[in-house]
Structure 1
Amino acid sequence: MCQEHTTEPLEPPGTHRAAPPCPCRPADVREAVARAVAERCRATHTHCDTEALADALLVASELTTNAMLHGGGVTGFQVDVSGPGVSLSVSDRSDELPVVVPLADRQERRRPGGHGWPIVCRLSRDVRVSDLPAGGKCITAVVPLS
């Protein structure tokens, strides 16, 4: 998914549902992910892998930051811990697909930034970009927890 993009509709047209207020800052998203993973570990009486959790927190933070910097702001967030991974979905206002930005310009000068999307792709088992019916997109990344 990170090498070539495909888009798919997230919900059928005409679907309406009330969404709870979403965390819109990276710190809020990280807190929501940590809480969801901790609840799952308690409920299943399993050990939480701190390195895997750190990867999930970094992916959540990068998706949120990218939505803020390049997508017109976060319009939705969802975390689902099921099976051996955590699914993180961040929606924004932009229809533009994520891109990998070269780390240097034509004169070989290093430019700041450009690390977020490669980090998401490297740490995630699956990444999908879905078009939203009212415009914008939702990026869903599944990060392994074991």
Structure 2
Amino acid sequence: MCEQHRTDSALERHGAERSGQPRSCKPAEARRAVERAVTERCRATHTHCDPEALGDALLVASELTTNAILHGGGVTDFRVEVVAAGVRVSVSDRSDRLPVARDPADLRRRQRVGGHGWPIVCRLARDVRVSELPTGGKCITAVVALD
């Protein structure tokens, strides 16, 4: 599942669609899929890949998949597309619970471990959307600018 990715031009030319049953997706696999999709787009369009923008996209993909595993009952779908606005990463999971930003400190003002993933996604992405899925669960889609 994480191996699958597409770009606008691939969709237009070949009518590419996702097929097959979803399987587990680990953060490292998600990062590789994002890196591959962005690199292929840069090569195809003969444009420079901004390493910082790619790093942001890799971090967003990693955080979304990690959150789906830790808080959403596992990744049920993963998609990455390079679009005009940047790279669009979509991660679906089994949970209907919406992501929330936790206070980084507890009641005694001690720093908590974890809880930084959702704020990172919201800070790095140009657009973030959470959609309920008809069969239950949710899909979180984040677009990270590549320029």
TM range (shorter): 0.7 to 0.9
Measure, in 1, the Cα distance between the counterparts of 2:67 and 2:37. 22
Aligned twin of 1:74: 75
Measure, in 1, the Cα distance between the counterparts of 2:24 and 2:38. 16
Q: SS in structure 2 opposite 1:117?
A: helix
Q: Where do 1:106-125 residues align within 5 Å?
A: 106-125=107-126
The alpha-carbon deviation at position 22 of structure 1 amounts to: 5.0
TM-score (norm 2): 0.85
Deviations 1:60-117 (Å, cap 9, x if unpaired)? 0000000000000000000000113000000000000000011111111211001100
> Cα gap change, 1:103/1:29 in structure 2, threshold over 3 Å: closer, same or farther?
same
Aligned twin of 2:10: none
Q: Say whether the 8 Å CA contact 1:85–1:145 is kept in structure 2.
A: yes
Q: Say whether the 8 Å CA contact 1:90–1:138 is kept in structure 2.
A: yes
Which structure is richer in relative contact order (CA contacts within 8 A, separation 6 or more)?
Answer: 1
Aligned twin of 2:47: 46
TM-score (norm 1): 0.85
Q: Which runs of 5+ in 1 are unaligned?
A: 1-16
Measure, in 1, the Cα distance between the counterparts of 2:69 and 2:102. 17
Measure, in 2, the Cα distance between the counterparts of 1:139 and 1:47. 28
Q: Say whether the 8 Å CA contact 2:73–2:95 is kept in structure 1.
A: yes
Measure, in 1, the Cα distance between the counterparts of 2:110 and 2:39. 43
> Cα gap change, 1:75/1:116 in structure 2, threshold over 3 Å: closer, same or farther?
same
Q: Say whether the 8 Å CA contact 1:23–1:77 is kept in structure 2.
A: no
Report which of the two has the higher share of helix.
2
> What fraction of aligned residue pairs are identical, expressed as a percent?
72
Aligned CA RMSD, in angstroms, stands at 1.4
Structure 1 residues 105-114 or 45-54, which shifts more? Answer: 105-114
Runs of 4+ in structure 1 over 2 Å off: 17-23
Q: SS in structure 1 opposite 2:65?
A: helix
